[in-house]
Structure 1
């Protein structure tokens, strides 16, 4: 009898281990045959979320860019670039699941030839809501619900503190520099979530709300818009490009006339976090902290 019970228990445990797992993704719910043990994270934001949950990816992009992701260079195998995953390396690794997002999302079908793949893209004006949803989904996938809830609560605390700091502080303009070139982003655009979390409305200017690459703007445009706050992202610094910095590009007689410049309200955000790891837990937390600190001065 004892042997029969033991065999029955073993069968039950094996059945539980192989139970289907449904995860919410950017493309809807996806059912996996079991909880994955070896996961390739081909997006920096996804790798960031996994680290925050206490889960180490088996593979990550070759170049990690962000300082807080550097420990993964020793802990995980390199698997190509953000835009071009290395299928041979992935096949040699033999992951149970491959997670793509944002820049790597277009390669989902290609990497799915190696292992099941899901898209956890986070983008647009609803970045905060999407980031929370992806965090909860990954927490459930890895059986880390308690950790996920604690992280979400900490994030809510940061958002509340930022909302308090930004209350009644005037208008804002989000600008991304790419060497000497500049683009402005409005509410509802790729970086529109910055207006939402700070509570600062966009300056009165016509900007494409759905623009992924923003609107090309000049120093004259910024001077005429005259924001109370100028939130700046330096793309060159984020990717390590050898080109003029955002500070050099913006240091112009016309920009120096703005309220933002005169009052010391030109805020250079951690562009690597925002540009390369949208929705990444630590990346997002550090950005919220930077915004809160600037608006609290």
Structure 2
């Protein structure tokens, strides 16, 4: 059975009759709305899609929407547990009733199909699996949406995160809460904007204990701010070593460095504990006379940044940038 936009006349009549028998006015609950097959049309990265009102069997694959779902009180039936921050979504990761769908390189499509989702939230890391996920959603009489806030969003990452939050608010009947999340985010972004006034910066990623150019992943964070990247935003794939040396970084002599510690977010397969990014920076003799070292002008992003990347994460990091670069302690 496919979702319909309106309740049937029989269902509506039954609701009215039940209300009159109880001698009180009553409204339809969210569960009743979902069970009735009522849908709402939302805008996605791939066009308008009809989705069920207040879906209850949600497969949440997109990490950028996960913390908003949690804030709304939504508990998914399946997630990619290795791709979520344990610090922020540990209760989902540890919940055996929430199935693990694997990672984007090897998703467990059978697990996704078995939970019979009425909504699959995909995109971003799972973008190349759209066709298969749509097929599973169709077979479950559900819907697939891509509302992810990707690095290359047409109107920028910030606008994409705001639109994503608004859309989730509509789907789950949490529009007022979505507005508050957006308002909190905008306040932190505005503070970061005020703290940046053209400072030169190196956008760094620490990966495998090495310092490299992280602009590819971090430029969407700094794009709304008034900062000048000393390497003009030319960042390579963070999974590879671009060959950038500490000496080249020192020669560029940025006033500030903003650091994403990928090692802190992704545990090595051999179980070893890599050095914190701060220790890696402190060990570089080439940095001793740089302005960012002598003036202690290094901003370390939230250790879970690489796994989070949603509106809450960006807001928290804008708050850090505002307080650090704005001179607050």
Give the TM-score, by structure 2 length. Answer: 0.77
d(CA) in 1 for partners of 2:252, 2:107: 41
Residue 157 of structure 1, aligned match among 187, 205, 208: 187
Which range is displaced more, 78-87 or 252-261?
78-87
Report Cα offsets for 1:247-282 as digits up to 9, x if no partner: 343321112221111100112211422x1222x233
1:72 to 74, 92, 95: 92
Alpha-carbon offset, residue 30 of structure 1: 1.7
Q: 1:21 aligns with which of 33, 40, 48?
A: 40
* 1:93-132 equivalence runs, <5 A: 93-115=115-137, 116-124=143-151, 126-132=156-162
Where 1:143 maps in the other structure, the secondary structure is coil
How far the C-alpha of 1:18 sits from its partner, in A, is: 2.8
Instruction: Go from structure 1 to structure 2 and tell me whether the alpha carbon gap of 1:257 and 1:194 turns closer, same or farther (over 3 Å shift).
Output: farther
Q: Matches of 1:88 and 1:130 in 2, distance apart?
A: 30
For structure 2, the residue ranges without an aligned partner over 5 or more in a row are: 1-8, 17-27, 138-142
CA contact (8 A) 1:100 1:118 kept: yes
The answer to which of 153-162 and 49-58 deviates more is 49-58
Structure 1 residue 85 and structure 2 residue 107: aligned?
yes
Q: Which moved more, 1:260-269 or 1:26-35?
A: 26-35
2:45–2:147 CA contact under 8 A, matched in 1: yes
* Of 115-124 and 262-271, the range deviating more from structure 2: 115-124
Q: Distance in 1 between matches of 2:208 and 2:78?
A: 32
How many angstroms apart in 2 are the aligned matches of 1:239 and 1:36?
31
The 3-state SS of whatever aligns with 2:121 is strand
The partner residue of 2:234 within 196, 208, 216 is: 208
Aligned partners of 1:166 and 1:295 also within 8 Å: yes
CA contact (8 A) 2:80 2:101 kept: yes
Contact kept, 8 Å, 1:42 with 1:99, in 2: the verdict is yes
What is the distance in 1 between the residues matched to 2:42 and 2:67? 18
2:278 is matched with which residue?
Answer: 247
Measure how far apart 1:50 and its partner are: 0.7
Question: Kindly tell me: are residues 38 and 7 of structure 1, through their superposed partners in 2, closer, same or farther at Cα, counting changes over 3 Å?
Answer: closer
| Structure 1 SS opposite 2:131 | helix
Report the alpha carbon displacement of residue 58 of structure 1 after superposing the two structures with TM: 2.2
- Contact (CA 8 Å) 2:78, 2:98: kept in 1 or not? yes
Q: What is the rounded CA distance, in whole Å, between the counterparts of 1:264 and 1:145 in structure 2?
A: 42
After TM superposition, the runs of 4+ consecutive aligned structure 1 residues lying more than 6 A away are: 11-16
Contact 1:179 1:249 (C-alpha < 8 Å) held by counterparts = no
Superposed CA RMSD: 2.8
1:259 to 291, 312, 319: 291
How far apart, CA to CA, are the structure 1 residues paired with 2:11 and 2:45?
41
Q: If the length of structure 1 is used for normalisation, what is the TM-score?
A: 0.84
Q: 1:45: how far off?
A: 2.1
> Match of 1:231, SS?
strand
Counterpart residue number, 2:25: none
Partner of 2:220: 193
Describe the shift of the 1:117–1:103 C-alpha distance in structure 2 as closer, same or farther (beyond 3 A).
same
The alignment partner of 1:113 has SS state of: helix
Total equivalences in the alignment: 286
* Pair member with larger Rg: 2
